[in-house]
């Protein structure tokens, strides 16, 4: 295993910190509290509409703002400083949700959008700091370490908060709503506490610039876009990334809906989500270590190939449990295990490979574009799934159609030139 510096450990622990927000708030408890508390007086169709609108607004605004936020970090000060600013915005918004009263869904949804923008902005600066805490030789491993500890930290906090909500009386709480409010507070404390190591151990190599100028930032963004257009390796990598990460994110975002269509219980789907996080920890470390020891590009192709297997299995699987060594295993667990094997590795190696293609002193600007594509990802996939399912009358064919995205990603990746090695 490559030797870890204090800076690399501090950097990776931020993923441990922020993954708590991603899993507990974005994926877990905000949807529950929105439905059962803030929008409890709305009819089900209106509640679904407004919840979907707030989630879409957060994603769309995050995607649109990402390139500009990246240039702010490069031209208006250090990437570390802007990471802290965005993270504090996300924490403050999440904490504010605890004080939003029952029925006030417009305020809750608006604060959620602000908090999510803070989370997205911090993620851009966090990704951009990867070259600061790693060398070209251990870049893949350090990138994977971040994702791996993120899986572990996120699932530990998530399981703790689930226990808090399920056994709220044991913890002296009056009801589940009080427990959910406390889970929001715990998530903020978790996010803040585990950001401290990055604050103390990571020292940005980009010096603070002159006074922030919006005009300079926009000019810087335009220069970045022109450089991407001229550098064919960066351009083809971003095209490849957009296709295959769209497939990856579609598998994540559509899994619950597809599970319901096949008739799986909610408990089974929640257990599968936890399984993905648990499997993702060791598998991401292994893939990242192998990529650091050999090369990252073959493992990107391997990850794409694994996702082809995943969508094929998803298209063919039934609700009938699978018999493994005499044990009846829900087929959805097999799918979750495969996703856990592939998800972290393909995300980690994508991030580290991108840093080996771009200028080291302007990483935030380039990661603004990278994160924008990541946020816009899961647009083509759900549309493709829905369209094919509608035309064929079967959601299974819709899942199988996702193979097209991974094949396009692999084809574009073939056009990318070699990474920097020094």
Residue 14 has phi, psi (to 5 degrees) of: -65, -35
Q: What is the DSSP letter of 97?
A: G
**For residue 207, what pLDDT is reported?**
55
**For residue 188, what pLDDT is reported?**
96
**For residue 215, what pLDDT is reported?**
67
pLDDT 10s digits, 245-293: 988 887 876 666 677 777 788 678 778 888 888 898 899 989 998 988 8
Residue 205 has phi, psi (to 5 degrees) of: -90, -10
What are the residue ranges in the chain where pLDDT is below 50?
210
Domains (range + CATH), the chain? 1-202+215-229 (1.20.1250.20), 232-356+379-422 (1.20.1250.20)
**For residue 376, what pLDDT is reported?**
56
Whether the CA torsion 277, 116, 357, 415 is positive or negative: it is positive
**For residue 256, what pLDDT is reported?**
62
**Ranges assigned E (strand) in 297-378:** 322-324, 327-329
**For residue 77, what pLDDT is reported?**
57
Give the span between the Cα atoms of 20 and 25, in whole angstroms: 8
**For residue 213, what pLDDT is reported?**
55
**For residue 227, what pLDDT is reported?**
84
**For residue 195, what pLDDT is reported?**
95
pLDDT 10s digits, 324-336: 877 888 888 898 8
Q: Which of 150, 236, 243, 214 is nearest to 416 (CA)?
A: 236
Count of other CB atoms within 10 angstroms of residue 44: 9
pTM of the model: 0.81
């Amino acid at each position: 295993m490559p030797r870890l510096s204090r800076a690399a450990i501090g950097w990776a622990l931020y993923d441990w910190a922020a993954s708590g927000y991603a899993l507990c708030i974005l994926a877990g408890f905000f949807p529950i509290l929105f439905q059962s508390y803030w929008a409890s007086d709305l009819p089900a169709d209106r509640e679904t509409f407004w919840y979907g609108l707030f989630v879409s607004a957060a994603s769309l605004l995050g995607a649109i703002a990402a390139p500009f936020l990246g240039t702010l970090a490069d031209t208006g000060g250090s990437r570390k400083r802007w990471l802290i600013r965005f993270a504090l915005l996300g924490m403050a918004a999440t904490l504010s949700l605890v004080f939003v009263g029952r029925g006030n869904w417009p305020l809750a949804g608006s604060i959620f959008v602000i908090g999510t923008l803070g989370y997205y902005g911090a993620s851009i600066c966090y990704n951009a700091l990867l070259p600061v805490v790693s060398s070209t030789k251990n870049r893949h491993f350090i990138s994977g370490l971040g994702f791996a500890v993120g899986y572990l930290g996120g699932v530990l906090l998530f399981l703790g908060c689930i226990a808090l909500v399920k056994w709220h009386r044991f913890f002296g709480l009056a009801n589940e709503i009080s427990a959910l409010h406390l889970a929001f507070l715990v998530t903020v404390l978790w996010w803040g506490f585990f950001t401290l190591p990055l604050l103390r151990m990571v020292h940005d190599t980009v010096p603070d610039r002159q006074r922030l100028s919006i005009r300079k930032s926009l000019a810087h963004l335009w220069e970045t876009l022109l450089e991407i257009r001229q550098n064919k390796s960066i351009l083809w990598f971003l095209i490849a990334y957009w296709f295959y990460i769209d497939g990856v994110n579609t598998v994540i975002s559509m899994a619950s809906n597809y599970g319901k269509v096949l008739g799986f219980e909610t408990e089974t789907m929640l257990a599968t989500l936890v399984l993905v996080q648990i499997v993702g920890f060791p598998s991401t470390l292994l893939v990242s270590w192998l990529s650091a020891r050999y090369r990252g590009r073959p493992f990107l192709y391997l990850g794409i190939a694994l996702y082809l297997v995943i969508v094929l299995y998803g298209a063919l699987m039934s609700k009938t449990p699978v018999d493994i060594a005499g044990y009846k295993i829900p087929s959805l667990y097999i799918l979750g295990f495969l996703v856990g094997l592939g998800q972290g590795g393909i995300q980690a190696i994508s991030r580290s490979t991108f840093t080996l293609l771009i200028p080291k002193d302007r990483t935030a600007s380039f990661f603004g574009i990278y994160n924008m594509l990541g946020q816009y990802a899961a647009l083509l996939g759900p549309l493709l799934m829905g369209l094919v399912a509608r035309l064929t009358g079967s959601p299974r064919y819709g899942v199988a159609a996702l193979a097209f995205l991974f094949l396009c990603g692999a084809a574009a990746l073939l056009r990318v030139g070699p990474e920097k090695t020094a």
